[in-house]
């Protein structure tokens, strides 16, 4: 019984150490920092690393006192940070303090516009979707926002959307850093349009007119303007006929192409049955119209048996193996 109690105490102590290790925060003091003011927080002068986001967020907001007037600086020593942490109830085992012994904290600010993110945002989205830059249009939704940041070199790092979708209205998050130090996280609402090649009419086309390079062309249109059945290759329409009048500037769809059946009802065809390495062919008459890939009925001209098979070309139907 005593052994079990001892074992339980050891396990409790072990898990306590693990929990403490997981919640311990690494605080690395910077040599130089720039703040907007009027106060200085721990997150302004140090990089914090840990697994517990709630603790990290609380520590970043830890008040270290007033900032210097604009254009001037103060110095914050590592020892003072340790005292501020203990004053807030943290013990030495809760954090690991490293980095510069003294941080020079300059008070200086700059106005940053969210519109300045657009170029890097386009690069991020273009790379994510794997499309040519000319096919990707990215716009920020809403009004341009002005943000006060510490003075210095601003860089943005974008996080992928949770949905994984990059078309239409997309919600992204960007982390802004100044001189390599994270200072702000911004939610962004972005409108993304990705263009695709489609066949578009250059001029008015009448019913029955042939599609030629004189009246159709390949154009790039955003997804929102590309309807189901649109055609992306010019060679798929050239030489074919229009099923109805089509005005200029129209995205050509399969329904607008006259697609006559290869095999017409009443025409004679070859009905083919393949069994292993043996192929049997009989003459048959089409009972119905059919295009390549359609399954149609044909009638054996000798036995008058009705068979069913797949249209291979304008003269051949591959019928089911057990049909003959």
Pairwise pLDDT comparison (180 vs 13), residue with the higher score = 180
Q: What is the CB neighbour count within 10 angstroms for residue 184?
A: 16
The pLDDT score that the predictor gives to residue 81 is 95
Domain positions in the chain = 17-107, 115-258, 268-319
The pLDDT score that the predictor gives to residue 144 is 86
Region 78-101: what's the mean pLDDT? 93
The pLDDT score that the predictor gives to residue 20 is 43
The pLDDT score that the predictor gives to residue 83 is 94
Q: 322 pLDDT band (50/70/90 cuts)?
A: low
Backbone angles phi, psi at 17, to 5 degrees: -65, -40
The pLDDT score that the predictor gives to residue 165 is 87
Backbone angles phi, psi at 273, to 5 degrees: -120, 130
The pLDDT score that the predictor gives to residue 154 is 94
Region 180-186: what's the mean pLDDT? 92
Residue 306 has pLDDT above 60, yes or no: yes
- Over residues 232-242, the pLDDT tens digits come to 999 989 998 99
Q: Kindly report the CATH number that applies to the domain delimited by 17-107.
A: 2.60.480.10
* CATH number among 3.90.1210.10, 3.40.50.300, 3.30.1950.10, 3.40.50.2000, domain 115-258: 3.90.1210.10
Domain 268-319 has CATH 2.60.120.560: no
Q: Which of 239, 226, 316, 224 is nearest to 273 (CA)?
A: 316
The pLDDT score that the predictor gives to residue 121 is 94
Region 269-290: what's the mean pLDDT? 90
The pLDDT score that the predictor gives to residue 323 is 57
- Over residues 206-230, the pLDDT tens digits come to 999 999 999 999 999 888 778 788 9
Q: What is the CB neighbour count within 10 angstroms for residue 208?
A: 11
Residue 12 has pLDDT above 70, yes or no: no
The pLDDT score that the predictor gives to residue 13 is 43
Q: How far apart are CA 134 and CA 221, in angstroms?
A: 11
The pLDDT score that the predictor gives to residue 143 is 81
DSSP for 232-245 reads --GGGTTT-EESS-
Q: Would you call 318 helix, strand, or coil by DSSP? A: strand
Q: How far apart are CA 96 and CA 90, in angstroms?
A: 11
CA 249 → CA 201, 204, 220, 229, 232, distances in Å? 5, 9, 12, 16, 15
**R_g of the chain, CA atoms, integer Å:** 36
Question: pTM higher than 0.75, yes or no?
Answer: no
CA angle 200, 206, 212 (to 5 degrees): 50
Do domains 115-258 and 268-319 share one topology? The answer is: no
DSSP for 108-163 reads -EEEEEGGGGHHHHHHHHHHHHT--GGGEEEEE-S---EEEEESS-EEEEEE--TT
Q: How far apart are CA 176 and CA 87, in angstroms?
A: 30
User: Which of 96-110, 228-242, 246-260, 306-320 is predicted most confidently?
Assistant: 96-110
Residue 22 has pLDDT above 80, yes or no: no
């Amino acid at each position: 019984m005593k052994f079990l109690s001892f074992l339980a105490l050891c396990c409790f102590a072990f898990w306590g150490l693990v929990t403490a290790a997981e919640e311990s925060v690494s605080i690395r003091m910077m040599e130089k920092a720039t703040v907007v003011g009027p106060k200085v927080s721990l997150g302004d002068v140090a990089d914090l690393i840990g697994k517990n986001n709630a603790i990290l967020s609380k520590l970043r907001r830890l008040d270290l006192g007033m900032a210097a007037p604009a254009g001037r600086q103060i110095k914050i020593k590592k020892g003072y940070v340790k005292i501020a942490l203990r004053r807030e109830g943290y013990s030495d085992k809760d954090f690991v303090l490293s980095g510069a012994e003294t941080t020079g904290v300059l008070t200086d600010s700059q106005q940053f516009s969210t519109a300045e993110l657009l170029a890097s945002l386009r690069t991020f989205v273009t790379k994510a979707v794997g499309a040519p830059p000319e096919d990707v249009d990215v716009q920020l939704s809403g009004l341009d926002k002005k943000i006060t940041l510490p003075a210095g070199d601003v860089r943005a790092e974008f996080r992928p959307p949770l949905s994984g979708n990059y078309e239409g209205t997309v919600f992204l998050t960007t982390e802004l850093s100044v001189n390599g130090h994270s200072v702000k996280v911004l939610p962004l609402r972005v409108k993304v349009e990705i263009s695709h090649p489609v066949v578009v009419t250059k001029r008015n086309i009448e019913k029955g007119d042939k599609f030629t390079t004189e009246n159709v062309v390949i154009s790039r249109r955003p997804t929102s303007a590309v309807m189901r059945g649109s055609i992306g290759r010019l060679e798929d329409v050239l030489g074919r006929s229009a099923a109805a009048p089509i005005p200029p500037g129209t995205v050509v769809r399969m329904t607008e192409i006259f697609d006559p059946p290869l095999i017409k009802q009443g025409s004679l065809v070859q009905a083919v049955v393949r069994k292993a390495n043996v192929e049997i062919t009989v003459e048959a008459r089409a009972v119905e119209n059919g295009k390549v890939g359609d399954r149609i009925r044909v009638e054996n001209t000798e036995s008058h048996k009705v068979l069913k098979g797949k249209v291979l070309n304008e003269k051949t139907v591959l019928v089911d193996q057990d049909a003959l």
